[in-house]
Amino acid sequence: MMMAVAGTETVTPLSILLWVALPYAAAAVFVVGHVWRYRYDKFGWTTRSSQVYENRLLRLGSPMFHIGILLVLIGHVVGLFIPRDWLYSIGVSEHAYHLGATWIGSFAAILTIVGLIILIYRRRTVGPVFLATTPMDKVMYVALGGTIAFGAAATFMLQVFGSGYEYRGTISPWVRSLFTLQPKPELMADVPLMFQIHVLFGTALFMLWPFTRLVHVFSAPVGYLVRPYIVYRSRDEQRGTRTKRRGWEEVKPPDPEKLRRL
């Protein structure tokens, strides 16, 4: 499969590295990293909120950033994972999509960036918050800020003020090709530099993800909507510091229900 595309001029070793090897490595680190972190460091799996230190700026910045980034996430899902032909078939034309993606996307980008600026400003200027910032937080801010900055720059330069770049013909199929395990790095060769840098920053962010406070994304408490309000747990459910290994369960009398069925 790789041999088939290796002959074409647009596939260089560098493009294989950047658009095939790196994304798969990032995916591996992302998945394995999360499994490891969950098993090894449940205690460290938290939002590490600093709201008790300072609330005035957080009250403004945090909802702006989070709502903005959720809109951005939805935009990326629609733009990257839904083939344009599907949207055409339900009547969303290229022009309509472009208008929607550009304007809603710009709104979400501004919301996210302003929120992030407020939060970073707060983190740097409020003493206790700055002291509670770990080195990993700082690395994460670079990756996250870079991803958002270049993504927004690409949108504004090319989509809003430029002629409009048709990424659903190149970047989106490339992303889907990664998921179908038939990577097509040649699709990324002629993508504008801004988008390329955005993708690379994003890849780096995914690799860092499991080792930062970003893991709290995966504990979004949607289960709260359906569980009963009061939770009861038995002392006996988890006694000791470790769950029993298979084959080492304690002695129990046989289930009388099962005996009756014999």
By CB under 8 A, name the binding residues for other proteins: 40, 42-43, 45-55, 58-59, 62-63, 65-67, 127-128, 131-132, 216, 219, 221-225, 227, 229-236, 239-242, 244-245, 248, 250
Q: Report in angstroms how near the CB of residue 226 gets to other proteins at its nearest.
A: 9
Q: CA-based angle 226:228:233, to the nearest 5?
A: 125
Q: How far is the CB of 215 from other proteins (least distance, A)?
A: 9
Other residues' Cβ atoms within 10 Å of the Cβ of residue 95: 9
Provide the minimum distance between the beta carbon of 245 and other proteins in the complex, in angstroms, as a whole number.
Answer: 7
- Which C-beta is closer to other proteins: that of 10 or that of 55? 55
Would you say 50 or 159 has its CB closer to other proteins? 50
Minimum CB separation from other proteins for residue 80, in Å? 25
Determine contact, residues 79/168, Cβ cutoff 8 Å: yes
**What minimum distance in Å lies between the beta carbon of 234 and other proteins?**
4
C-alpha distances out from residue 51 to 115, 126, 152, 187, 192, Å: 15, 11, 28, 44, 40
Q: Which is nearer to other proteins, 129 or 187 (CB)?
A: 129
Q: Residue 187 contacts by C-beta under 8 Å, 6 or more apart in sequence?
A: 19, 170, 171, 173, 174, 177
Residue nearer to other proteins on the CB measure, 10 or 51:
51
- Residue closer to other proteins (CB basis): 40 or 86: 40
Q: What is the separation, in whole angstroms, between the first and last Cα of the chain?
A: 57
DSSP 8-class letter at 20: I
Q: Using CB atoms within 10 A of its CB, is residue 183 exposed (0-12), middle (13-18) or buried (19+)?
A: buried
